Amino acid sequence: TDIIKDSKDEEPAPDPVFLARLFLFMAQELDVQQSDIDHELALSIDDELDLFKSMTGEDRVLDISKGSLFDNDAGAYMTGQRVAAWLTVMQKDDYVPSFLVTGSRIVFNEIIATDAVEDVCFFESVSLEQPVSFKKEMERFLMTLIGEKWRGAEYISCPQFETGGMETINLRLCILPGKGPEALIKPDALINRAVITDEPLKHKQASLNTLVGLIE
């Protein structure tokens, strides 16, 4: 019996990158379904408002704006697991970015939830129309942040954006000194049991520091 048992082929260990990609694919499908549901609800509300106006001749005022009903953060569901999966897939590439940017506040908070991350600067009401010269200045600023040893926010001079205008954004910038993005994977994330391994990374750390940005 022991001979037969030993002769059986052992099941190969699951590929962590494949599992991470599969998880992200399923999460994306869930997001698409939720988006479709939100769209149908929006159409239903429009029909209800039109019906109310045709019956009463008056516009119905919603308790809250219709836009706020569907102002959902796509990163709110299984945030830690999604971030861990993304970082796992990313760190297996030949080139790993040193600047991570998201429009999800929940994802941003998940990524920076470590004492090692520090604030760099916060830009408020930034105009989307910036001169070419400033764009080059901003690029040099970011390259300096990721390439030089971090001493603290008090030792840097942040660029001055042009503010105001028809379209504006807020930008918060944080830094993870001396480490690559793989250091942001939380050890207690559920997905880690499947995707975190002791295999050496394919790449060398591209830069000294990692930047994380939130655009809203």
Q: pLDDT, tens digit, for every residue of 36-63?
A: 877 777 777 666 666 666 777 666 665 4
- Identify whether 2 is part of a domain: no
Identify the residue with better confidence: 102 or 51.
102
- Identify whether 1 is part of a domain: no
- Identify whether 123 is part of a domain: yes
Please give the pLDDT value at position 193. Answer: 47
- Identify whether 148 is part of a domain: yes
- The structural domain count of the chain equals 1
- Give residue 174's pLDDT band: very low, low, confident or very high (50, 70, 90): very high
- Identify whether 7 is part of a domain: no
- C-alpha pair distances (Å), 66 with each of 41, 104, 152: 10, 20, 43
Domain extent, residue 72, equals 12-216
- Identify whether 6 is part of a domain: no
